[in-house]
């Protein structure tokens, strides 16, 4: 069964550094999403992406964040200058015909 | 704006007992409703979805949920809990495949 994959599974970085989180959505899906889950809290929407542009974003998704689909398979989330409060699990998701979003296993980002 | 409320951040049941996890939503448009399960240190797995077809929805692992428009509820049930059901369960709402809004989650504990 096709699945969403994410790399790395765990990323440790120092405050102020740039990080890129990578996702490979399911191949025939057209809508892509990033969510984050701070430890012990609910899953929060960050951004949705369709047709090579952002279709919706939350107030969390400020100028420090950017997304890109550099080729036909990868979907990336970049955080330009990480802060301690960016520490969270980041989930990528893609949507199929039935409106359900398929989630990847997540990348745990730890900012020290 | 959409919102989801999950009553009870922790629910404990005995093995073999009925599982009932509560979810209430608010939405200005006909909602699409989902239940996801998250096992420790893993991603989000879709349990079931409601997308305006049958109001009683069957999902994986013996779970089902009933959409009740008059009560704005989408409670998740399973007749007989199994130890392997211990996990965090998230209810989520979207409008026609857009961003998901999640509830705060319910941690299900199953006692032997």
Asked if residue A6 lies in contact with residue A107, where contact means CB atoms within 8 angstroms, the answer is yes
Q: Which is nearest to B50 in space by CA: B18, B83, B13, B75?
A: B75
Mutate to test the interface with B, among A45, A67, A90 (most CBs of B within 10 A): A45
Query: Nearest by CB to A99, which of B42, B45, B96?
Result: B96
Mutate to test the interface with A, among B1, B42, B43 (most CBs of A within 10 A): B43
Query: Nearest by CB to A91, which of B34, B43, B97?
Result: B43
Spans of chain A below 50 pLDDT? none
Q: What percent of chain A has pLDDT over 90?
A: 78
* Banded model confidence at residue B54, pLDDT cuts 50, 70, 90: confident
What value does the mean pLDDT take over residues B83-94? Answer: 95
Three-state secondary-structure class, residue A103: strand
The C-alpha atoms of residue A26 and residue A2 are separated, in whole angstroms, by: 6
Q: What percent of chain B has pLDDT over 90?
A: 78
**pLDDT for B96 beyond 70:** no
Q: Is B107 on the interface with A (CB under 8 A)?
A: no
Q: Which is nearest to B105 in space by CA: B76, B62, B68, B71?
A: B76
pLDDT of residue B42: 83
* Banded model confidence at residue B1, pLDDT cuts 50, 70, 90: confident
Q: Which is nearest to A37 in space by CA: B103, B8, B31?
A: B103
Q: How many CB pairs under 8 A join A and B?
A: 56
CB spacing of A42 vs B51 below 8 angstroms? no
Q: Based on the number of CB atoms within 10 Å of its own CB, is A52 exposed (0-12), middle (13-18) or buried (19 or more)?
A: exposed
CB spacing of A43 vs B32 below 8 angstroms? no
pLDDT of residue A70: 85
Q: Is B50 on the interface with A (CB under 8 A)?
A: no
B14-47: pLDDT as tens digits: 999 999 999 999 987 788 999 999 998 788 999 9
Structure tokens at B42: 């893993």
pLDDT of residue A34: 97
What value does the mean pLDDT take over residues B48-55? Answer: 85
Q: Which is nearest to B108 in space by CA: B73, B78, B67, B68?
A: B78
Structure tokens at A68: 């890109």
pLDDT of residue A97: 75
pLDDT of residue B73: 95
**What is the rounded radius of gyration, in angstroms, for the C-alpha atoms of chain A?**
13
Classify the phi-psi angles of B29: left when phi > 0, otherwise alpha if psi is within -120 to 50, otherwise beta: beta
Asked if residue B92 lies in contact with residue B102, where contact means CB atoms within 8 angstroms, the answer is yes
pLDDT of residue A84: 97
């Amino acid at each position: 069964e096709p699945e969403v994959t994410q790399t790395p599974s765990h990323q440790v970085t120092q405050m102020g550094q740039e990080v890129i989180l990578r996702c490979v959505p399911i191949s025939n899906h057209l809508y892509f999403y990033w969510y984050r889950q701070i430890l012990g809290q609910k899953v929060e929407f960050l951004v949705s992406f369709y047709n090579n542009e952002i279709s919706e974003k939350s107030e969390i998704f400020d100028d420090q964040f950017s997304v890109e689909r550099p080729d036909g398979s990868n979907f990336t989330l970049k955080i330009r200058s990480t802060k301690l409060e960016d520490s969270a699990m980041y989930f990528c998701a893609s949507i199929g015909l039935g409106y359900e979003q398929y989630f990847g296993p997540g990348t745990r980002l730890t900012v020290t | 704006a959409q919102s989801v409320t999950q009553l009870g951040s922790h629910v404990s049941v005995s093995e073999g007992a009925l599982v009932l996890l509560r979810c209430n939503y608010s939405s200005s448009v006909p909602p699409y409703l989902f239940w996801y399960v998250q096992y420790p240190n893993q991603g989000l797995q879709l349990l079931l979805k409601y997308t305006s077809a049958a109001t009683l929805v069957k999902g994986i692992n013996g779970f089902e949920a009933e959409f009740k428009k008059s009560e704005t509820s989408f409670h998740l049930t399973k007749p007989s809990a199994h130890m392997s059901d211990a996990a965090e369960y998230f209810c989520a709402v979207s409008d026609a495949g857009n961003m998901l809004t999640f509830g705060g989650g319910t941690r299900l504990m199953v006692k032997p």
